[in-house]
Amino acid sequence: MNMDTQNTTDDSTEQLAIPLGFDIRRISAEQLAELGVARIAYVKPVQVDGTDGFAIHAANGAPMALTAERDVAIALILQHEMVPALVH
C-alpha cells in the first residue's frame, strides 16, 4: 500500500505499520484489498465435489483453508488472532 505509515519497533521486533491517515473515498482497489489482509478472514459456505463445507479466505480473497463445519472455521481464524467475517 502506498500510504503514509508510522513504523514502530520494540527491542528490534518490528510491528505492523499504522496508517497515519488517508481518504477512504480515494483508496484504490488494491489498497482496499490489502487493508485487512493480516487481520480479517472471511468464512464462506461452499460445496466441493457435492459436499458442503466452509472456505476461509483472506481479506484479499486468497484461499486459506477449507473445513466441514462453520464453528471449526471460526475457531481456526480466532486461533490465528484474526477477526472472522461471515459471507453469505
Checking if the pLDDT of 74 tops 90, the result is yes
Is 57:67 a contact under the CB 8 Å cutoff? no
* Reported pTM: 0.60
- Give every CB contact of residue 10 below 8 A, 6+ residues apart in sequence: none
Q: Give the residue extent of every domain in the chain.
A: 1-35, 39-88
pLDDT of residue 13: 40
Is 19:4 a contact under the CB 8 Å cutoff? yes
**Structure confidence by residue, pLDDT tens digits, 4-23:** 444 444 444 444 454 556 66
With 0-12 / 13-18 / 19 or more C-beta atoms within 10 angstroms meaning exposed / middle / buried, residue 70 is middle
Q: From the CB of residue 59, how many other CB atoms can be counted at a distance below 10 Å?
A: 19
Checking if the pLDDT of 88 tops 90, the result is no
